Amino acid sequence: MRKYYLEFEKPIQMMEEKIAELKKHLDSDFSVELREMERKLQYMLEMTYKNLTPWQISLVARHPERPIFSDYRDKLFDDFLEIHGDRNFRDDPAIITGFATLGNYRCVVIGEEKGKGTKDKLYRNFGMPQPEGYRKALRAMKLAEKFGLPVLTFVDTAGAYPGMEGEERGQGEAIARNLFEMSALKTQIIATVIGEGGSGGALAIAVADRVLMLENAIYSVISPESCASILWRDASKGPRAAEALKLTAPELLKFGVIDEILPEPIGGAHRQPEETIAIVRKALLRHLDELVRISIPKLVQARYQRFRGLGVVQVQD
């Protein structure tokens, strides 16, 4: 039984509970009524998830049961060896780095980790990295560059942590340095936005040759709540801000910010984590197959051009 339902999933919850109740009392699954109800549930899920508003998508992107990086780490790769630390200050648990095997590829993997359960979440600082997290990520990327391994990053953060220590240790500098170095890193980089792509904290590991995004993930310059509290001094106007910010995958595809939308199973990634991870795995393998065929100088040039071309301006005569 699922534990957590979003507000707009209430009808789905009721239906699922009814079905569960019915199943308890019936000896056979072949009851016509039950089958009818399951069909209806499937239809409800499909309809609900096909027509999500940007705000609802933001909620799904942060769903407590949505697969997070550690799920991908454990199930997407054939094996994984974690490496720790930025060699300067400490190991930031909000970013996990390591070596992994994916099919025929050996790669360096970097992911923002929100954590599971209260204790782990606190340990991971809810997936909000400190500067040393970004520096660890950069160190891993430099290793990848040195040994010719592709880099796979997984974006899932509300943002870089806005605290005192982060400021003391140069949060801005750490992010800037990553953008600077990633733009010319001499190896393949694929970034996948699996949940929340929170501003600079997301971009700092997403200057990539391919940027993929799950259907119900978001990627934005600012969270809808913060945007609302700046614009209207009212964080509860998040739904309106989510609409205005155009932070959903189809919008980002239009702007050329992402390359591909990875469809989630019906009812969202949190209903079928394994299937979601399999979808991501398949997509990563396909993109790796394409990228390794491109020479590194060409790849770096194309990466530069990609980011060089982003932005919309008017030129007056």
Partner 1 sequence: MAWFVKPQYTIKKSATIKQNEGLWTKCPECHSIIYNQDWENNLHVCPHCGFHDKLNAFERIQMLIDPGTFVETFNNIVSADPLNFNDGTPYIEKVKNAMLKTNLKDAVVTGYGKLEGHMIELAVMDFNFLGGSMGSVVGEKITLAIENATKHKRPLVIVCASGGARMHEGILSLMQMAKTSAALKRFSDEGGLYIAVLTNPTTGGVTASFAMLGDVIIAEKKALIGFAGPRVIEQTIKQKLPPGFQSAEFLLEHGFVDIVVERKDLKSTIARVISYIKGK
Span of 54-62, 83-91, 216-224, 265-273 interacting with partner 1 by CB under 8 A: 216-224
How many residues touch partner 1 under the rule CB under 8 A: the total is 54
Q: Is 173 in the site for partner 1 (CB under 8 A)?
A: yes
Cα–Cα distance measured from residue 23 to residue 120, given in angstroms and rounded to the nearest whole number: 35
Q: Is 302 in the site for partner 1 (CB under 8 A)?
A: no
Among residues 5, 8, 89, 307, which is the contact residue for partner 1, using CB under 8 A? 307
Site string (218-257) toward partner 1, x via CB under 8 A: -xxxx---xx--xxx-----------xxxx----x--x-x
CB-based contacts of 18, cutoff 8 Å, min separation 6 = 37
The alpha helices in 104-208, defined as continuous H runs, are: 117-123, 131-147, 164-168, 171-182, 199-203
Q: Is 311 in the site for partner 1 (CB under 8 A)?
A: yes
Within a 10 A sphere around the Cβ of 236, how many other Cβ atoms? 10
Among residues 67, 93, 127, 166, which is the contact residue for partner 1, using CB under 8 A? 166
Q: Is 183 in the site for partner 1 (CB under 8 A)?
A: yes
* Cβ proximity of 214 and 236 under 8 Å: no
Q: How far is the CB of 3 from partner 1 (least distance, A)?
A: 28
Residue with Cβ nearer partner 1 (51 or 314): 314
Tokens of 291: 């990228």
239-246 long-range CB contacts below 8 Å, 24 or more apart?
Answer: 239/53, 239/54, 239/55, 242/53, 242/54, 242/55, 242/57, 242/58, 242/218, 243/53, 243/54, 243/55, 245/54, 245/220, 245/221, 246/54
List contacts with partner 1 (CB under 8 A).
160-164, 166-173, 175-177, 179-181, 183-184, 199-200, 203-204, 207, 219-222, 226-227, 230-232, 244-247, 252, 255, 257, 303-304, 307-308, 310-317
